[in-house]
Amino acid sequence: MVTPTGTNSNKGRGKKESFSAQNRSGDRYAQERSIYLRFSVVFFLFALMTLIVVLRYAMLMLNGDIAETLISGSKPFAERGAILDRNGRILAMQTRLANISVWRPEIKDLEVLSTTLGPLLNLSQEEIIRRITTASSDFLYLKKQVDQATIQKMQSQRPLGGVNIEPIVGRIYPESTLASQIIGFVGDEGIGLEGIEYAFESELAPNEERNGNQVILTIDANVQYILEKIASQTLIENKAEAVMLMAMDPRTGDILGSASVPGFNPNVLQDSNESGRMNRPAIWAYEPGSVFKVFSLAALIDSGAITGNSTFICNGRYERVTNLGERVLINCLGTHGRVSAREIIRYSCNAGAAYAADRLGADAFYKTLQDFGFGARVGTGNPGETTGVFRSVDRWSARSKPTIAMGQEISVSALQMIQAASAIANDGILVPPRMVSRIRSGDGTAEQPFNPGTPRRILKPETAQLMRSYMMDVTSSTGTGWRANVGDLSLAVKTGTAQYVDPSTGAYSSSDFIASCMALLPSEAPSLILYIVIVKPQGESYLGGRIAAPPIQQAAEALVDYLGIPRGRNPQVNHSGSITLPNEQLPLIEGKVPNLIGYAKRQLLPLLLRDDLHLEITGDGWVKRQSPPPGTALQADTTIILELE
């Protein structure tokens, strides 16, 4: 029996349609499941991200509360120690600051927010809007480490949605740019990154049990100010790349001032650059030029290789042919004829210094210059301090010894030069410089002196005295340093000019120079050493006698009077040395803001060290204005803002 074809076809089509429908149903299920899974993953990720952001914001709020608790005094905390000058003037101290952040979802009016915050945070309205609208996260910081004066101004405004003030413990530098390269700065975590802040981190840093120690410098803020002012003027007048100007008491090694310009303001670190932050006197090595003749001739005389009566012929150059037939030629700045050691110093004669160096063996010459401290770190506590470049004798060429004698083919730091000069000032005893005088405990009950080195004799007394007498001639009308002369004060001076060595090539520049001048005063018994270095001057002259001697004269005139160094027009009066000063007590603080008008910054130091008070000090001198006014109820979160003039 044959089955009809049509019947068979219908049955087959029905099976196929049923199977196809099942497939379509399965595909829809798979698609729906895939969509559901993708939606679930997206939702989960969105929820997770939201949770993370919310937790982050909550933690910031919590951290802010914790910081506020610490700062307000309800919970004691340890402070980083202060850095002070030799007279107790505060150069770095702990203070209350704040970070200003925004939470974008809570901003109600971006226009109002940017208009209000712009003047307070020193940001343009456009910059605030740009940063908020282009930020990759809803949370962002607008400005970090804002001072208390700004915070109080913000709090006096009507509340702004989405703006948060996050209190932190910060570091401020009341004297702004003064001695900034010496002091250094701390990072966001409150850890020292440069200068004294870095070198004495272990002393300054607090722990859970105590405040950090105070570091007292040898720097006198007034001397530092005078030097920085003169150095800045010199920089501008000579269109120089940099200027260093130092002052040291050779009897103690105390660095009273060490100016390096250009400088920087550690309170606005973001505006600084590497050149401004560089502590050149400690870390920058250069060829010293003719000032170095003081030390090379002292070495030659002290060894007995030459005497004050030895003479040499200068016909405008030094010339010698070695045993191997090598011809050594060194030019002099003039033709000085027959010169003694005194005249080599007075005229700064290159040829005379080179011929004098021929009288002493290389090993003995090298050893004496090493005794002056060249080729080794001084050890004043400056991070990154250079050793300079003073190659061993086995690496010298035939021209090395005569070239070193005139101050080239050797690199030094300004600290090394002023250290070496102490031996000339102290009748042959070298006194290592220091920038830190002592470490004081956080509670002020104990002090420990800081002495980086031990004085040592390196020259006979008569050698040092003879060199000072030679240097006195430099200020005569025929000497290279007559522009440094101070009429009624005797100065021992040496000027110098050296070609600048390009650090990228190691070759001498034909157009760039280093001008310098050193002075010991008064020359009979020096109590002050001044040393200036002008890097790459671009003015009418580059000679040390022309451009470096005048600022030395300015510094001497200013500092002699300030330090009380005797001179012709300063009358000397005998006194018992005992005086009585009135004991000025700070006002009692009994729940009300005291009247601090008229108090000097130094008198306020005990208040700054109290955990229960919050002071914000601006300016220098004496308190002229304060906020809140005297008599205001003193709350746990009250900040007393003092403006000094």
> For the domain that residue 161 is a member of, what is the CATH number?
3.90.1310.10
pLDDT digits (tens, 9 = 90+) for 363-373: 999 999 999 99
What token pair was written down for 160? 């702004």
Name every residue whose Cβ is closer than 8 Å to that of residue 34 and which is 6 or more positions away in sequence: none
What is the predicted pLDDT for the residue at 6?
39
Least reliable range by pLDDT among 295-299, 361-365, 383-387: 383-387
Using DSSP, state whether 33 is helix, strand or coil: helix
Task: Examine the domain organization and report whether 313 and 164 are in the same domain.
Answer: no
* Nearest of 248, 216, 476, 532 to residue 347 by alpha carbon: 476
Task: Examine the domain organization and report whether 612 and 495 are in the same domain.
Answer: no
d(CA 53, CA 407) in angstroms, rounded, equals 64
Q: Does 584 have pLDDT greater than 80?
A: no
Q: How confident is the model at residue 198 (pLDDT cuts 50, 70, 90)?
A: very high
Position of tokens 């040592």?
Answer: 456
Whole-model pTM: value is 0.76
Least reliable range by pLDDT among 60-69, 387-396, 517-526: 60-69
386, 283 Cβ separation under 8 angstroms = yes
Task: Examine the domain organization and report whether 5 and 43 are in the same domain.
Answer: yes
Name every residue whose Cβ is closer than 8 Å to that of residue 408 and which is 6 or more positions away in sequence: 287, 289, 498, 499
140, 99 Cβ separation under 8 angstroms = no
What token pair was written down for 161? 């949605």
Return the higher-pLDDT residue of 589 and 458: 458
Output the domain CATH number for residue 252: 3.40.710.10
d(CA 633, CA 636) in angstroms, rounded, equals 10
* pLDDT, average across residues 444-468: 94
User: With pLDDT > 90 as the criterion, what percentage of the chain qualifies?
Assistant: 61
pLDDT digits (tens, 9 = 90+) for 169-185: 888 999 999 999 999 99
For residue 341, being part of any structural domain is answered with yes
The CB density around residue 558, as the number of other CB atoms within 10 Å, is: 17
For residue 216, being part of any structural domain is answered with no
Give, for 339, the enclosing helix (H) or strand (E). strand 337-340
Task: Examine the domain organization and report whether 135 and 245 are in the same domain.
Answer: no
Q: Does 614 have pLDDT greater than 60?
A: yes
Asked which of 13, 46, 70 is the last residue of a domain, the reply is: 70
Asked which of 25, 42, 70 is the last residue of a domain, the reply is: 70
Q: Does 35 have pLDDT greater than 60?
A: no
What is the predicted pLDDT for the residue at 580?
46
What is the predicted pLDDT for the residue at 45?
52
What is the predicted pLDDT for the residue at 47?
53
What is the predicted pLDDT for the residue at 296?
98
What backbone torsions phi and psi does residue 50 show, to the nearest 5 degrees?
-60, -45
For residue 428, being part of any structural domain is answered with yes
pLDDT digits (tens, 9 = 90+) for 305-358: 999 999 999 999 999 998 888 899 999 989 999 999 999 999 999 999 999 999
Least reliable range by pLDDT among 195-199, 391-395, 519-523, 586-590: 586-590
Q: Does 502 have pLDDT greater than 90?
A: no
For residue 214, being part of any structural domain is answered with no
Q: Does 116 have pLDDT greater than 70?
A: yes
User: With pLDDT > 70 as the criterion, what percentage of the chain qualifies?
Assistant: 84
239, 537 Cβ separation under 8 angstroms = yes
For residue 78, being part of any structural domain is answered with no
Task: Examine the domain organization and report whether 546 and 591 are in the same domain.
Answer: no
What token pair was written down for 294? 């003081």
d(CA 399, CA 317) in angstroms, rounded, equals 13
What is the predicted pLDDT for the residue at 20?
41
**Which domain, by its residues, includes 623?**
584-645
Task: Examine the domain organization and report whether 395 and 508 are in the same domain.
Answer: yes
What is the predicted pLDDT for the residue at 51?
52
Task: Examine the domain organization and report whether 551 and 589 are in the same domain.
Answer: no
For residue 369, being part of any structural domain is answered with yes
Helix orientation angle between 293-303 and 350-357, rounded to the nearest 10 degrees: 30
Q: How confident is the model at residue 41 (pLDDT cuts 50, 70, 90)?
A: low
What backbone torsions phi and psi does residue 194 show, to the nearest 5 degrees?
-145, 165
DSSP tag of 389: B
Q: Does 491 have pLDDT greater than 90?
A: yes
Q: Looking at the 3D structure of the chain, how many domains does it have?
A: 4
157, 116 Cβ separation under 8 angstroms = yes
d(CA 453, CA 433) in angstroms, rounded, equals 8
Task: Examine the domain organization and report whether 276 and 152 are in the same domain.
Answer: no
The CB density around residue 150, as the number of other CB atoms within 10 Å, is: 18
Q: Does 630 have pLDDT greater than 90?
A: no
Asked which of 563, 596, 625 is the last residue of a domain, the reply is: 563
Task: Examine the domain organization and report whether 31 and 121 are in the same domain.
Answer: no
d(CA 459, CA 461) in angstroms, rounded, equals 6
pLDDT digits (tens, 9 = 90+) for 552-578: 999 999 999 899 998 865 444 454 545
468, 421 Cβ separation under 8 angstroms = no
d(CA 242, CA 536) in angstroms, rounded, equals 7
The CB density around residue 182, as the number of other CB atoms within 10 Å, is: 28
The CB density around residue 644, as the number of other CB atoms within 10 Å, is: 19
Least reliable range by pLDDT among 97-101, 117-121, 144-148: 144-148
In 73-199, which residue ranges form alpha helices assigned H by DSSP? 110-121, 125-134, 148-156, 180-183, 195-199
Task: Examine the domain organization and report whether 491 and 590 are in the same domain.
Answer: no
d(CA 154, CA 148) in angstroms, rounded, equals 10
For residue 188, being part of any structural domain is answered with no
What is the predicted pLDDT for the residue at 72?
39
Task: Examine the domain organization and report whether 345 and 494 are in the same domain.
Answer: yes
For residue 76, being part of any structural domain is answered with no
Position of tokens 């001697």?
Answer: 549
Q: Does 452 have pLDDT greater than 60?
A: yes
d(CA 477, CA 505) in angstroms, rounded, equals 39
Q: How confident is the model at residue 49 (pLDDT cuts 50, 70, 90)?
A: low
How many residues are there in the chain?
A: 645
**Angstrom distances, CA of residue 109 to CA of 133, 142, 168, 617:** 12, 16, 27, 34
Return the higher-pLDDT residue of 605 and 96: 96
Using DSSP, state whether 484 is helix, strand or coil: helix
404, 395 Cβ separation under 8 angstroms = no
Q: Would you give the distance in Å from CA 140 to the centre of its chain?
A: 31
Q: Does 459 have pLDDT greater than 60?
A: yes
pLDDT digits (tens, 9 = 90+) for 68-77: 333 333 345 5
d(CA 360, CA 339) in angstroms, rounded, equals 18
What's the mean pLDDT when you consider all of the chain? 85
DSSP tag of 451: -
Task: Examine the domain organization and report whether 411 and 519 are in the same domain.
Answer: yes
pLDDT digits (tens, 9 = 90+) for 221-268: 999 999 999 999 999 999 999 999 999 999 999 999 999 999 999 998
Q: How confident is the model at residue 274 (pLDDT cuts 50, 70, 90)?
A: very high
- What residue type is 465 in one-letter code? Q
